Structures are given as C-alpha cells and as structure tokens.
Structure 1
Amino acid sequence: MESQQPFRILTVCTGNICRSPVAERLLQAGLDQVQAGAFEVRSAGTRAMVGDPIQPLSADIVHNFGGRSEAFAARQLNSRILRETDLVLAMTQKHRGEVLQLDASLLKRTFTIREFARMLAVLESREVASDADAAPSASIGDFWRSLATRAASVRHLALPGDPSENDVIDPYRRGEDAYRQMEDELAPAILGILRYARITAPATR
C-alpha cells in the first residue's frame, strides 16, 4: 500500500542559524515544486543557539534563491528528532559523526549534503547509461525511502579528491566572504539533489 507520510529530511549543522537553515528552506522550496506535501524538510544544530532566527546573511542567500526565511527558530538536535527522520544531511563529516553518536541506527541514512549530491549524480549517470527509467513506480516517499541504500552502494564512486570537499564552511562571525564560500559549497549540492528529485518524479497524471 502506498505510503501517505511525507519523506522527512533533516539538515544538521552546529548552531542551526547559518548553514542548515539555508539547506532546509531551499530544499523545502524546491521539493514542494516537485510534489507539494511529499517532502518535509527540517533542521537542527548539534550545539544550537536555541530560538535564534536565521543569520541575516544566510537569510539573504535563502531569498536570493527564491526561498523564505521567516518563522524560523533554531532547535537542538536530539534523539527524538532523529527518530522522526528518514534522511539526515549533515553539513560536515563531524556533524555526521555527532548524529551517529546519538543514533547509530541511522548509519546508512546519514550523509554530508555534498557527498549525498555526488552519490545522486552517480546514480543518475548509471540510469542514463543503462537507459533505465528513473521514475519511481511507487510513491515519491517510498522511492526516497529506498534511495539512501542505493546511494550508499555507490559511495565508493563518489569520493572527493580531498575529504574537506565533503564539508560546508561555517561562516558564523566570519564576514561576507565566508558566507559567499558557504553558498558556493552548499548551493551546488542543493541544486543537485533537487535535480535528481525532478528527474525521478512520477509523470503528472
């Protein structure tokens, strides 16, 4: 039977005011265009500045890409949040490790956002090369619940030249140049994930 529950994505950084809110809001905006209600994207921080809004320069990035930054409040990552999550996209390898310290059962469903985007690119290239029909026969939610396992299976084909290429810089208190670098590292990953969502979405009936 087709699952009616949205596919739940959690983005994770440290303070939950710079990087993970940008990923949350832009992924949600883009995935809503794929199929409204099929995805639920939230964020949390490993040492969250609980209750704080998105940092102004991060909010500017969200707005520039067509997202909304209003009604956001940082929240602390905990086991309860993780239990309600289908896929965790961490901003750095360290954050990924901290997620797994809280819930080791998420090992095959937790990635850095940049490595996950590379894995999806590998999956896409394989599907094109084999002339496979990438569109899911099940619901989008069920398709994405099986995606983490398929992505993990090609991890060895998506390794970066430098491990630091898995991470997104923390721009907090570092000025506009750091925020631009964050955008340069984060935006391609978000766009890659959204691209894969679009090409694998069922045709509109």
Structure 2
Amino acid sequence: MENNFSVLMVCTGNICRSPFAEYLLVNLVQDIKRVNVSSAGTNAMVGERMSPETQTIAESYGVQNFESHRARQLSEEILGASDLILTMTRRQRRRVVELEPRVTRRVFTLREFARLVAATTDEMLASDLAEVSFEGKQPFRAAVQSIALSRSQLSSISDPAEDEVVDPYGHSLEVHQASAQQLVPAVNTLAKFLMRVSSETVT
C-alpha cells in the first residue's frame, strides 16, 4: 500500500463534495491497482456519514459503496502521506499549505488540476515519463510534478471561481446538483489522466 499513489480529496466538512469526489474517482479507476483514493475535511464533521443529498446525487451518477464513509479531520500526517491533494476551493488549498508547507507542489483545487491536465498532450506526458522508473507510484508522482510545472505556462483564468466547486452544504438539492455539475467533469478528467499515466507505464 505504501508504494501506491495516494489521491486525497479535501473539502470543509468531508460529508458532501470531497467524499462524492472520492467515491466517484474510486469507481472510475478501480482497474488501476496502484492508485488509492481518500478524503478529509479542513473542519470535518468527524464521524458523520455522507449527507443524504450527496448520497442521492452520488447514486444518480452511478456511485456505489459509499455507505462506509465517515468524515475525518485533515491532519499533517494525512497530507504527508498523500501524493496528490485536490481541494474544492482556493481557500482550502491555502489551508492545506499552511498546515503542511511541504506539500505545496502537489496541492491544487480539483478544477484547477483538471484544467492543467486538459492542456497536457499525450506527447508531453510521454516525454515527461520517458526517464522515470515504472515502479509503484513513481510515474504518477512524476506526472503530477509535470502538471505543477505547467502552472506557469498556462494563462490565468479571468474568474477565480472557475477553479472552485460550490459548497452545497445546507442548501437545496438543486444546489447539490449544480455543485456536482462542476465536480463531475473534473473528476472524469482526473480519472482519464491517471489512466493515461498507467497506460504509459505498461511494458
């Protein structure tokens, strides 16, 4: 397990956005044996299940096996063990860096990471992985480093909110649906990225 690539989803309470993103990604990358996915909250409602509204939304997207989810509080230890950290907002991203500065180069908002991935061609990815060991998590970590470096090469977005997923907690089912419509495409892009990296390392 220690040699698997660890993806951590982060939101506030760890009962809506981050567990939804976690279990959706788990469903999408279940065939990649070297990837683990988990979630945590910056102000977690520790021990709570996924919210009823989020469960409804998750089921509508075919997400399964989320009944065992229990919210947990983000910690330095959890961050230190994570290879890719994806937050739902820029504020949460700042909180992660404040809590554990050593993860700065591997923390992004979820939608920011998807935007950067979309700008990475197969040729660029293959080139970045050409000199990397194919063992365990190494190719995935190298790919994330490559994405991090591309931040400076991509034009800034005009509206920072485009890099965030709206918080649906305490709101109507319609707001939960709107939140999901921001989150799901980004998770799909992430899943395709992880599959691309995995396919590049198959010998």
Is this a same-fold pair by TM over 0.5?
A: yes
Question: Superposition pairs for residues 34-183 of structure 1, below 5 Å?
Answer: 35-36=32-33, 38-68=34-64, 69-124=66-121, 127=124, 138-139=134-135, 141-156=137-152, 157=154, 159-183=156-180
* CA distance in 1 between partners of 2:18 and 2:76 (Å): 18
**Retained in 1: the 8 A contact 2:8–2:39?**
yes
Moved more, 136-145 or 44-53: 136-145
Partner of 2:12: 14
**Retained in 1: the 8 A contact 2:6–2:83?**
yes
1:154 Cα deviation after fit: 1.2
Q: Structure 2: which 5+ runs fail to align?
A: none
* CA distance in 2 between partners of 1:67 and 1:117 (Å): 20
* CA distance in 1 between partners of 2:11 and 2:198 (Å): 28
Provide the aligned length of Structure 1 versus Structure 2: 199
Alignment of 1:198 with 2:195, yes or no, is: yes
User: Displaced runs of 4+ in structure 1, greater than 4 A?
Assistant: 131-137
* CA distance in 2 between partners of 1:143 and 1:61 (Å): 33
Code of the residue aligned with 1:142 in structure 2: it is: Q
Partner of 1:32: 30
1:194 Cα deviation after fit: 1.0
Instruction: Specify the SS of the correspondent of 2:141.
Output: helix
- TM-score normalised by length of structure 2: 0.88
Q: Structure 1: which 5+ runs fail to align?
A: none
Which digits, 9 at most, give the CA deviation of each residue in 1:88-139, with x for residues without a partner? 10010000011111100111010000000111111126639xx969798614
* CA distance in 1 between partners of 2:116 and 2:123 (Å): 11
- TM-score normalised by length of structure 1: 0.88
Which digits, 9 at most, give the CA deviation of each residue in 1:141-185, with x for residues without a partner? 211111222111111316323111111000001101210110111
1:51 Cα deviation after fit: 0.4
Which digits, 9 at most, give the CA deviation of each residue in 1:31-61, with x for residues without a partner? 213x13x111111101100000001121122
Instruction: Specify the SS of the correspondent of 2:170.
Output: coil
Code of the residue aligned with 2:143 in structure 1: it is: L
